[in-house]
Amino acid sequence: MELKPNFKDGSIVNLMSSIASSYGKKPRYGNLKILKPGSLKDSKTLVLVIIDGFGYEYIKKHGKGSFMKKHLKGKMTSVFPSTTASAITSFNTGLAPQQHALVGWYTYIKEFGSIATILPFYPRGGSKSYAKDGFVYSDCFNAVSFYENLGIKSYVVNPKSNINSLYTKKISKGAKRIPHNRNLASFFSAIRKTVRRKDSKKFVYAYWPIFDGICHYNGTKSKYAIKHFKEIDKGMKQLCSRLKGTNTTLIITADHGFIDTPLEKYVMLNFYPKIYECMSMPASGDSRVCYCYVHPSKAKQFEKHVKKELSFCCTLHKSKDLVKKNYFGLYDINPKFLERIGDYVLIAKDDYVVRDFMPNETINPFLGSHSGMSKQELYVPLIVIKP
């Protein structure tokens, strides 16, 4: 069976619909099948905790006897590509990528004339913010924040280091931003204090990034990843104990999971000149999903050489075909979307990474990666706890 996001009733987008529906809203996407809005309505506070990189397959494998696994309700799909830039934006808008149009860590922005490192808001291969040249984030991103029309008091708990970034300000519009210091004590304290604020009803979104970084640099099987998972689990148990009597529901999930990617499985397009010369610009997208812009006169040549030289490590797709198959979402399409997914998409097979590099980029291969369509990357957990 082909793995792809289930936007009908089984993705993180549908989770956000269930949350919106519990507040009496009528979201664009259907509700999550395994989480009925009625089960959330009576809670004074809903807390959505996003543990970056914390996949469903990970907790199934490493979570034996853990507090969070005891409350595991099932699995959902992330979005495509299964990566932070796309998925976190879906959490904060309630929309799929073909609506919000942030389609990878590297996204081609026609208005800027370059490929952007989209969350920190600077050009790929550069370090100076587009803002210094007079661009604003709304020039490339026009989706409405999830909180703007929610109708209740909302809070976004984010790392202090990016709480005031242009991206965070844009996606959290309508919510009060609460910083934490990138340590678990600060993170759980921020959640606890926010829950105990004297609002009649509230929604809290809380984001934890460190597990993702550990899996990138050390791999999912490393002692560091397992140790940190246990620390998160212990902290979550303590948090729930301290929230007893507050009429709170915690929903814990992730933006994507991870797959281990050995260094010998890195494939660089630059080393395949017959392929690379067909491309009109560097690749965009992410580590396991490449958007390729191809000279029209060289399209057949590109297809021929990709199939001949790269069939061992990736599958080749016309971008428009993936749109038709609902990889990026359902319903209407953002006018900026189609120009951001290239002419072709390369999706890495197995545990390969397929990407390119620019002359001024230093390649630091990660031992763990994501954005592809393996079950390890695509499936995320749904954990529901009522302290």
**Confidence at 358, pLDDT banded by 50, 70, 90:** very high
pLDDT at 170: 96
pLDDT at 353: 98
153 within 8 A of 201, measured Cβ to Cβ? yes
pLDDT at 37: 85
pLDDT at 236: 98
Task: Tell me the mean pLDDT in the region 244-252.
Answer: 97
Task: Tell me the mean pLDDT in the region 310-315.
Answer: 98
**Residue 242: exposure state from Cβ atoms within 10 A (0-12, 13-18, ≥19):** middle
**Confidence at 307, pLDDT banded by 50, 70, 90:** very high
pLDDT at 363: 80
Task: Tell me which fold the domain 263-356 belongs to.
Answer: Gyrase A; domain 2 (3.30.1360)
User: Strands 379-385 and 368-369: what pairing?
Assistant: unpaired
Q: Where is pLDDT greater, at 37 or 104?
A: 104
**Confidence at 278, pLDDT banded by 50, 70, 90:** very high
pLDDT at 18: 97
Looking at the chain, the whole-number percentage of residues with pLDDT higher than 70 is: 100
pLDDT at 361: 87
Is pLDDT above 70 for 1? no
Please write the tens of the pLDDT for every residue from 114-150. 999 999 999 998 889 999 999 999 999 999 999 999 9
CA distance 23 to 79: 24
pLDDT at 127: 85
**Residue 223: exposure state from Cβ atoms within 10 A (0-12, 13-18, ≥19):** exposed
50 within 8 A of 43, measured Cβ to Cβ? no
Is pLDDT above 90 for 321? yes
CA distance 180 to 161: 9
**Confidence at 199, pLDDT banded by 50, 70, 90:** confident
Task: Tell me the mean pLDDT in the region 93-117.
Answer: 97
pLDDT at 29: 98
pLDDT at 2: 72
pTM attached to this predicted model:
0.97
**Residue 73: exposure state from Cβ atoms within 10 A (0-12, 13-18, ≥19):** middle
How many residues belong to the chain?
387
Please write the tens of the pLDDT for every residue from 141-164. 999 999 999 999 999 999 999 999
Contacts of 82 (CB under 8 A, 6+ apart): 255, 256, 257, 370, 371, 372, 373, 377, 378
**Confidence at 82, pLDDT banded by 50, 70, 90:** very high
Looking at the chain, the whole-number percentage of residues with pLDDT higher than 90 is: 96
Average pLDDT of every residue of the chain:
96
pLDDT at 138: 93
Is pLDDT above 90 for 300? yes
